[in-house]
């Protein structure tokens, strides 16, 4: 299990990348980062956290923090999990992405 510290929240909880997931105090938050400009609530996010450039679930990240998180997540993804559950998850994500791209939900 690899851990990479991204930041510490104002209340002292660590935001880390653990096994490819952005975690808050050890609990999974997100496995992908979303640029704030693509987020549906971007105006509220930027009003609350003006320096945010990315979101990891409900966690706002600055450009530097997002770079740390993305680097750690990418390093973790270099090892491909070939378990049946991981393969099924990748297939679900691919089918969902294709359906969204074609406008079918």
Does pTM surpass 0.75?
no
Q: Across the chain, what does the average pLDDT equal?
A: 91
Domains of the chain, by residue range, sit at 3-80
pLDDT band at 79 (very low <50, low <70, confident <90, very high): low
For 2-46, write each residue's pLDDT tens digit: 899 999 999 999 999 998 899 999 999 999 999 999 999 999 999
CA distances from residue 25 to 6, 30, 33, 83 in whole angstroms, order as listed: 12, 13, 18, 27
Quick one: average pLDDT of 96-100? 86
């Amino acid at each position: 299990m690899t851990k990479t510290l991204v930041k510490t929240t104002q209340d002292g909880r660590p935001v880390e990348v653990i096994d490819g997931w952005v975690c808050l105090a050890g609990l999974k938050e997100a496995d992908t980062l979303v640029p704030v400009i693509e987020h549906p609530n971007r105006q509220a996010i930027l009003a609350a956290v003006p320096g945010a450039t990315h979101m990891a679930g409900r966690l706002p990240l600055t450009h530097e923090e997002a770079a740390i998180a993305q680097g750690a997540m990418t390093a973790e993804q270099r090892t491909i999990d070939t378990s049946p559950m991981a393969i099924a998850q990748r297939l679900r994500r691919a089918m969902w992405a294709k359906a969204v791209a074609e406008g079918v939900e």
